[in-house]
Structure 1
Amino acid sequence: MLDQLGVEAKFYRGDSKRQLHQQLEIIRGVQGKNVVTIVDEAHLLDKETLEEIRFLMNYKMDSLNPMALILVGQNELWDKLKLQRYAAIRQRIDIKCEIPQYDRSQTEEYIAAHLKYAQGTSEIFTEKAIDEIHRYSAGSARAINKVATHALMFAAQRAKKLIDDYMVRTVIAGELP
């Protein structure tokens, strides 16, 4: 984080922590800015890193949060944070947002919205193709994106203008884990 702030970190961890808190105080107090830190793929954080985050957020004995922290990750992140050893971190979470799994009609709307954004037409996928995409993805936005993108590439390679359930199953069986 110090590197992101343009500051060379001290050799010892404790010194670096103090240095980071000082920089955050300067940004908040002198510059009058709020600090927001976003950690992507947070489900991959190990125990030691999560503990460091807890210490970072435990500033002046909880009387002042030095920054807003946004942890972005897959569902495994919340599963991990539910463990008793992370109770102190959980207590510091003010808001929790989840993207729920889509049902069949939401999957279709999601695909249509992406196609519209790409200036495509929603008639590219047949109803049965969308059924297969939903079945494979179980409504996960990331999995929908993956299978739909692979199906579009598969169709383009074969100069097909319509993607049916057979093509989706072929892509799933041959190109996706």
Structure 2
Amino acid sequence: MISHFFGWDRTPFTKEIPTESLYQSSSFQQCVARLQYMVKTRSFGLVTGEIGAGKSTAIRSLRDGLDLTKYQFIYLCDSSLKPRDFYRELLHHLGIPPKFLRSETKRQFEHAIWDLYENQQKTVVVIIDEAHLLQGDMLQEIRFLTNFQIDSVSPLALVMVGQPELRSTLQMRLFKPITQRMNVRYHLGGLDREETRKYIEHQLETAGAKHPIFTTETIDSIYGHTRGIPREINNVCTACLLDAVVRKEKLVDAMHVDRILNEYKEF
């Protein structure tokens, strides 16, 4: 609908954009660089960010850039995950039938990652997303993964990803042993005003736009409302484009943004 009206190759501001075509803001590049460092050094680290800041996109960028002959990528995103199921889930991703007892599955996983590392020269990369929703016993279980090392050599990279409250949780005395083991910590913030402009223009250019669609005043309004959070920018821009399509207008100005933001206030 949008792409047809404007004569573009595809619809902008969606998740379908290939990783090689992503807008590389400074904070996004920093985040991906740290993720890559944790993988290459087989480290334990933490990435936080507001909802929609681009954490999942950074993870996708990391995954798509991995040499799968050298890395085994495991992505977990289950807020209800319990210690008794944790190792079963990890073993499932490795294609290994889990045994019944938790102690047995834990030993199975440890044996599996060391076998991959020593005999196949392959590093297991474990990403635990939405970690801010995990219960305390699950956070403690994650810490035990960092014990799978010999003479300071770790066979896996482990990254916890979540919203800012995860940092507050981990600052509690109970979880100090976890933070003390973390080699890297990074908070992914929103875009600044100039980056917001570049982000919007990049999305449009990638979709096939040949000339500006959003006025400077429009971009200022979008930045003020979204605080530079990419997902929020996508939502507002998409709504503005739909409004423009319905009205058969080829330029998105402040009036479109005002109408959309007034609609948002009703929810």
1:86 aligns with 175
Quick one: which of 142, 166, 188 aligns to 1:99?
A: 188
* Higher alpha-carbon deviation: 22-31 or 53-62: 53-62
Identity across matched positions, percent: 38
Task: Give runs of aligned pairs for residues 42-121 of structure 1, distance below 5 A.
Answer: 42-60=131-149, 63-121=152-210
2:75 aligns with none
Quick one: which of 126, 131, 137 aligns to 2:220?
A: 131
SS in 2 for 1:115: helix
Q: Deviations over 1:60-91 (max 9, x none)?
A: 57833231012233333333323332222212
2:16 aligns with none
1:55 counterpart letter in structure 2: F
2:58 aligns with none
2:46 aligns with none
CA distance in 2, matches of 1:100, 1:86: 24
2:103 aligns with 14
Residue 136 of structure 1 and its aligned partner are, at CA, apart by 0.9
Q: Is there any run of 5+ residues in structure 1 with no aligned partner, and where? A: none
RMSD of aligned alpha carbons: 2.3
CA distance in 2, matches of 1:62, 1:50: 24
CA distance in 2, matches of 1:95, 1:49: 20
Check 1:42–1:115 CA distance in 2 against 1; reply closer, same or farther (3 A cut).
farther
Task: Give runs of aligned pairs for residues 125-164 of structure 1, distance below 5 A.
Answer: 125-164=214-253
SS in 1 for 2:187: coil
CA distance in 2, matches of 1:136, 1:32: 48
Q: How many residue pairs are counted as aligned between the two chains?
A: 177
TM-score, normalization by structure 1: 0.86
1:72 counterpart letter in structure 2: V
Question: Residue 111 of structure 1 contacts residue 122 of structure 1 at CA under 8 Å; is this kept in 2?
Answer: no
Quick one: which of 151, 156, 172 aligns to 2:261?
A: 172
Check 1:5–1:107 CA distance in 2 against 1; reply closer, same or farther (3 A cut).
same
What stretches of structure 1 move > 4 A for 4+ residues in a row? none
SS in 2 for 1:135: helix
2:64 aligns with none
Residue 148 of structure 1 and its aligned partner are, at CA, apart by 1.7
Residue 175 of structure 1 and its aligned partner are, at CA, apart by 4.5
Higher fraction of strand: 2
* Higher alpha-carbon deviation: 163-172 or 113-122: 113-122
Question: Residue 149 of structure 2 contacts residue 155 of structure 2 at CA under 8 Å; is this kept in 1?
Answer: no
CA distance in 2, matches of 1:121, 1:97: 36
CA distance in 2, matches of 1:150, 1:79: 34
Q: Deviations over 1:136-176 (max 9, x none)?
A: 11122222222222222332333321112221222233247
CA distance in 2, matches of 1:107, 1:27: 43
CA distance in 2, matches of 1:154, 1:45: 40
* Higher alpha-carbon deviation: 120-129 or 24-33: 120-129
Check 1:116–1:166 CA distance in 2 against 1; reply closer, same or farther (3 A cut).
same
Check 1:122–1:82 CA distance in 2 against 1; reply closer, same or farther (3 A cut).
farther
TM-score, normalization by structure 2: 0.59
CA distance in 1, matches of 2:210, 2:151: 52
